[in-house]
Structure 1
Amino acid sequence: MRNKQRPHSIKRHLTFSTVCVVGVLMFVSWLLVYSEARHEINEVYDARLGQSAKTLALSVMSWGDQPPDNFTQSYTHWLNAITAIAKDDDTTTPFGHPYEDNLFFQYRVNDALVAKSPNAPAQWIGTSDNPGFDMVTAAGEQWRTFLLVFTLPDKRQASLLVAEKEAIRQELMTEVSLTIGLPQLLLIPLLAVIVVVLVSRAFRPLGELKETIAARSVDNLDHIHVAQPTVELTPLVKQLNYLFSQLNNAWVREKRLVSTAAHELKTPLAVLRLNAENALSAATKADRDNDLTNILAGIDRTDRVIQQLLMLSRVEQQKNTDTTHIDLVPLLREQIAALAPMALTQQQSIELEGRDPLWVKGHPVMLSVLFTNLIDNAIRYAGEGASISVVTSCSANTVVVAVIDSGDAIPDEIKSRIFDKFFRGHTEKGDGAGLGMSIVKDIAEQHQASIAIRSPYFSDHGNGFTVTFPIASVYESR
């Protein structure tokens, strides 16, 4: 059994994606700020370390290899005073700052250590005689050092090393990172809430559209309207309204077809029932045979009605389909060939006259229905031995097809109503629903064509139904 896939939430996906993307951008921003802060902090601290070394070197040059007698005592007193007064690492005192415990210097002349800070290691920690910056490990700690080499007035070489604990820089970098990163981190939940609210507001028209569609039913296919239309929803609403129009038209056609079928089949079925009852109660074989013959005729009439109703349904279904370029000559040949056996049963002649090709723009199915009806009517009503001609012609702008028969002329009272729906003129000859000619007129109008009757067509007899189409260029059709 195939697992049913859970619906995908666009709103949830959009919210999650936005928060994730912003979170990643914040992290990248934090990395860039941290990298730049690290670079700047190292520059400032290195500059201060170098400046301190030079300032101190100017003082020790006058010492030679003998520092003042009270140097160590005074320095120790100052450091102890800072420790005694300062309550924490952030407290400043008249004697300096507690962070001074993270700084020291060493001074040597030639290779002999002459002076140092009280908190400095007893041994020289420099790993190289090259002056400049270096990273040294002493007493289990990393120290950033700056070595300054100079010559004393008595020509001896002196070295001054100033050191700063690397942890100071790392601590400052950590504080900068937290100062920048924590607010950004705390902003992510707030951002998520804001995104949820904004996305919900942006999707409000979609919710409104959903409710509007939910209110539609087969009995209510009115166009939908959104109070706050958006660029994204407008095409969707337009297509939905088009679909509702199509559904409504189909529903109307279905109801009309059912109503027409009920109306037209009611009488033939009643007649069939009456003839069947008469056949059952017939006193003689001749009466029964007559009733059975009437039943067969009634079945034929009912079949004719059903065919016309099906034809009406086909025409209705084709109304909104796309048109194409059609050569009428092959189509007319096909319809004549299909109806020729019916004409032969009445000793009628039927022929196609005129030039080809004849290009028009239309629906092949609907045009087949149109000419089938015209030719079928001519065969049915022209009478035995009549001649029927389908004559084609064209001009610069039009294509003309005329269906001409040599039967009796149509009376004026019938001619004026022949295209009315459900009108049957020759009730003694016709067995349809009176829909054929109304279908013909409907199809012609849909193709921007006109239909005209000429009766009598000859001096005192004959009928001609002429359909005039706008021409479609053969080059355009290609």
Structure 2
Amino acid sequence: MLNNFYHERVAPHLPSSIKKRTVLFVMSIIGFTSLIVGVIGTYLSAHEVEELFDARLAQQARQLAQMTDVENFNGKTTVIYPAMVLEEDEDDEDESGLEYEGKLHYQLFVDDKLVVISGDTQLQPYEMDEYGFGKAEANDHHWYTFSLTIDKGGKKVSVVVGERSDIRGETISQIAAQAFFSSLVTFPILALLVWGAVRLGLDPLNLLVQRIKKLNPHKLEVIEMDDMQEELTPIQTALNTLLSEIDLVMEREKRWIADAAHELRTPLAVLKLHAQNASTAEDAGVRAEALAQLSHGVDRSSRIVEQLLASARVENQRVQSTVEDIDVLTVTRSVVAGLYPIAWERSVTLELIESLDVLSYPISQGHLEILLQNLVSNAIKFSYDNSTIEIGLEMIDTTHFQLSVIDEGVGVSSENRERLLERFFRSGEQAGAGLGLSIVKSIVDIYEAEIRIEDTTPHGLSVFILFKLD
């Protein structure tokens, strides 16, 4: 589901360049991670700042308590730096160069009497914990306080040290701002480094592209590269497989063109001769004979072309993808019915013998039709007049069924029987390219079936094809 969402909604809006897309992904991850780390770091820094400021308050309170001279106390309250305490508009750094010094406040009590105060505002701590840390509100500001009480010279000395909360907020803000500024400055530099790294990492892909561009379209060779990266190995393997298959297809096309030129050269020359004879003949009988020969030559050339085209179709479909089961009986009946007119001209009877009610097999319907047409038409061609051809379908056992075509024709000698499946082998003087049974053999090989050719008693030829059921 996530993969579909990415390809349907996200991918169309991304750069088409792998390099740009990779940099975008990497920098997005880095940016998101930096944001998370920054938030966590700011939170932890704020906590550390709180502890540091609390420790400073406690330290100052203890120092004031220890430095207090209770013996010389005259009972009057002393105010120190009255103009430096709560001025909103004064700078955060005084002449001493100590930042935020003016925003620290302290009060000193001796026997609960205020003796020293660092300004005209008195803090009243509340929510004090067991360690003395508390809070206070004064002059529209929130204060963090630390209170300490000790016994000194028989008198109770109490110290309250306070610090405005905006000091800590400013410090935390500065930490966050510095972290953000650092990230802002380094982000473009990091993007350039990532861009260079991605470009360097994609260099093997560019080498593969250059190697592909150098391929000769007339002679495709496999791509071989030294130190092929692991990620590119599947691409190289797939390309080499594709190139090998394309090379085979090109070789088959070249062979088919050569075969077609070879097989059609003589018939076309004969057709031209008959046409010339018909055009120059003065006698009507000679002209009629030439035209009859011309018609016969056209029929023979048509059969040659049909066989060549059928051979090309089978060769191009030699690598089969997954095919669905088809009804073999229905296809067989249809092909046999289509051949009845040809058999009728020869006074040959086609007899379909079925011992099955249903027969399904995973085979291309086109392949099955070509196989049946070649077997049956070949049997018709070599059968005697008024003879019978039996086309049979039967189960041999639970895992095999057999297709058979048995004729009562002229048959073939034992010497030639082994050559019947060769390309362009002709037995007898019948017209054709000698491709019929070689096409059948190609289809049989595609489906890993077995073909067997035997004599028919008393004469004729029998072809048996054994298919294995999955």
Q: TM-score, normalised by structure 1?
A: 0.77
Aligned partner of 1:125 among 122, 125, 150: 122
| 1:124-273 to 2 correspondences below 5 Å | 124-126=121-123, 133-134=134-135, 144-146=144-146, 160-164=159-163, 169=168, 172-173=171-172, 176-177=175-176, 184-273=183-272
Q: Quick check: 1:345 aligned with 2:345? A: yes
Q: Is the 8 A contact 1:205 1:226 kept in 2?
A: no
Cα distance in 1 for partners of 2:126, 2:255 equals: 108
Provide closer, same or farther for how the CA distance between residues 6 and 115 of structure 1 changes in structure 2, counting only shifts above 3 A: closer
Matched, 1:422 2:407: no
2:352–2:390 Cα contact (<8 Å) kept: yes
| RMSD between aligned residues | 4.0
Structure 2 vs 1, CA of residues 55 and 67 (structure 1 numbering), >3 Å: closer, same or farther? farther
Q: 1:164 to 1:250 in 2, by over 3 A?
A: same
Q: Which moved more, 1:235-244 or 1:311-320?
A: 235-244
Deviation (angstroms), 1:154:
10
Displacement of 1:167: 6.5
Residue 8 of structure 1 deviates from its aligned partner by 0.8
- Counterpart CA distance in 1 for 2:44 and 2:445 is 79
Q: State the 1:339 CA deviation.
A: 0.8
User: Structure 1's 345 and 55: CA in aligned 2 closer, same or farther, altered over 3 A?
Assistant: same
Contact 2:355–2:393 (CA under 8 A) maintained in structure 1: yes
> CA–CA distance in 1 between the matches of 2:304 and 2:426?
12
Pairwise mapping of residues 75-474 of structure 1 onto structure 2 (< 5 A)? 89=97, 102-107=103-108, 114-116=115-117, 120-121=118-119, 123-126=120-123, 133-134=134-135, 144-146=144-146, 160-164=159-163, 169=168, 172-173=171-172, 176-177=175-176, 184-322=183-321, 323-325=323-325, 328-356=328-356, 357=358, 362-396=363-397, 398-412=400-414, 414-427=416-429, 430-455=430-455, 457-459=456-458, 462-472=459-469
Q: Is 2:24 the partner of 1:16? A: yes
Between the aligned partners of 1:106 and 1:349, the Cα distance in structure 2 is: 128
Are the counterparts in 2 of residues 352 and 390 from structure 1 also a CA contact under 8 Å? yes
Contact 2:407–2:461 (Cα < 8 Å) also in 1: yes
Structure of larger gyration radius: 1
Tell me the distance in 1 between the aligned counterparts of 2:290 and 2:347: 28
Counterparts of 1:246 and 1:213 in 2: how far apart (Å)? 16
Which deviates more, 183-192 or 146-155? 146-155
Moved more, 435-444 or 168-177: 168-177
Q: Secondary structure at the match of 1:395?
A: strand
Percent identical across equivalent pairs?
29
CA distance in 2 between partners of 1:228 and 1:443 (Å): 41
1:205-256, Cα deviation, whole Å (9 max, x unpaired): 3222222322335313222244344454333333333322332222222222
- Contact persistence 1:358–1:394 (CA under 8 A): no
Counterpart CA distance in 2 for 1:72 and 1:333 is 120
Are the equivalent residues in 2 in contact too, given 1:400–1:466 (CA < 8 A)?
A: no
Q: Could you tell me how far apart the structure 2 residues matched to 1:367 and 1:68 are?
A: 121
Task: Supply the distance in 1 between the matched residues of 2:230 and 2:364 (Cα, whole angstroms).
Answer: 35
Cα distance, 1:303 vs structure 2: 0.9
Aligned to 1:41: 49
Q: Which letter does structure 2 place at the counterpart of 1:415?
A: R
Letter in 2 for 1:348: V
Deviation at 1:44, TM superposition (A): 2.9
Alignment TM-score, normalising by the size of structure 2: 0.79
Is the contact made by 2:382 and 2:411 (CA closer than 8 Å) also made in structure 1? no
CA shift for structure 1 position 143: 5.9
Instruction: Please name the residue that 2:9 is paired with.
Output: none
C-alpha displacement of 1:87: 8.5
Q: Could you tell me which amino acid in structure 1 is paired with residue 198 of structure 2?
A: V
Alignment counterpart, residue 38 of structure 2, candidates 30, 33, 36: 30
User: 1:185 offset after TM fit, Å?
Assistant: 4.7
Instruction: Give unmatched runs, 5+ long, in structure 2.
Output: 1-11, 83-93
Instruction: Give the corresponding residue for 1:81.
Output: none
> Distance in 2 between the 1:304 and 1:266 partners?
14
| Amino acid of the structure 2 residue aligned with 1:31 | V
Q: Read off the aligned partner of 1:446 and give its amino acid letter.
A: I
CA distance, structure 2, for counterparts of residue 388 and residue 31 of structure 1: 89
**CA separation in 1, counterparts of 2:126 and 2:446?**
104
